[in-house]
Amino acid sequence: MNYLSEMLRLPVVDSAGEKIGIVNDLGIATGEVFPRVTALAFQGPGKTPFMISWRKYVERFDEDGVYLKYPATDIRFSYLQPDEVLLARDIMNKQIVDTQGMKVVRVNDIKLSATGDNQLRLLGAEVGARGLLRAIHPLLERVSARVAKMLGKQLPEDIIAWSYMDLLERSTKQIKLSVSHKTLSELHPADIADIIEQLDPRLRTQVFAQLDTEQAAEAITELDDDELMTEMLEGLSDREASTMLATMDPDDAAALIEELDYEKAEKLLRLMGVKEEKAIRNLLGYEEDTAGRIMTNEFVALPATATVQDAIDALRGLDEDFESIYYVYTTDAEGALTGVLSMRSLVVAEHDARLKDLAFRDVVWVAPDLDQELVADEMTKYDLVAIPVCDENRHILGIVTVDDALDVIAEEHAEDLQIAGVSVGESNAGESTHAFTWFAQRQYWVVVWAIAACAIAAIVVSPLSNIDLTYQDMGIEGARDMITSQGLMALMPISIMPVVLMASMRMVSFVKNSYLEYDERDDEPKPYLGFFIKTTFIGVVLAGVVFLCGELMATTLFAEANPWAAKTLLACFKSAAMVIAATYASAVVYFYILFRSDEKDQSVSGTSLTFAAVLLSALAYTILGSMPLL
Residue pLDDT, tens place only, 104-124: 677 888 888 776 667 788 877
Residue 551 has pLDDT above 60, yes or no: yes
pLDDT of 179-195, one tens digit each? 333 455 566 777 677 76
Give the pLDDT band of residue 91 (cuts 50, 70, 90): confident
Residue 323 has pLDDT above 90, yes or no: no
Select the more confidently predicted residue: 628 or 392: 392
Contact 457, 629 (CB under 8 A): no
* C-alpha R_g of the chain: 36
Domains of the chain in start order, with CATH, are 4-166 (2.30.30.240), 188-285 (1.25.60.10), 301-415 (3.10.580.10), 435-629 (1.10.357)
CA pair distance 576, 9, nearest whole angstrom: 70
- Find the mean pLDDT for residues 29-37: 75
pLDDT of 330-345, one tens digit each? 999 999 999 999 999 9
pLDDT of 223-242, one tens digit each? 877 777 877 777 778 888 88
Give the pLDDT band of residue 277 (cuts 50, 70, 90): confident
What pLDDT was estimated at residue 558?
A: 60
On average, the pLDDT of the chain sits at: 76
CA pair distance 380, 406, nearest whole angstrom: 10
Please state, in angstroms and as integers, the Cα–Cα distance from residue 453 to each residue in 144, 447, 450, 490, 603, following that order: 45, 10, 5, 9, 33
Least confident of 378-387, 462-471, 602-611: 462-471
CA pair distance 269, 300, nearest whole angstrom: 25
Give the pLDDT band of residue 480 (cuts 50, 70, 90): very low
Write the DSSP string, 300-316.
-EEETT-BHHHHHHHHH
What pLDDT was estimated at residue 574?
A: 86
CA pair distance 124, 163, nearest whole angstrom: 8
Quote the percentage of the chain above a pLDDT of 70: 73
Most confidently modeled of 29-38, 141-150, 284-293? Answer: 284-293
Select the more confidently predicted residue: 261 or 434: 261
- Find the mean pLDDT for residues 561-570: 70
Give the pLDDT band of residue 174 (cuts 50, 70, 90): very low
What pLDDT was estimated at residue 213?
A: 77
Select the more confidently predicted residue: 626 or 435: 626
Residue 440 has pLDDT above 50, yes or no: no
Residue 251 has pLDDT above 70, yes or no: yes
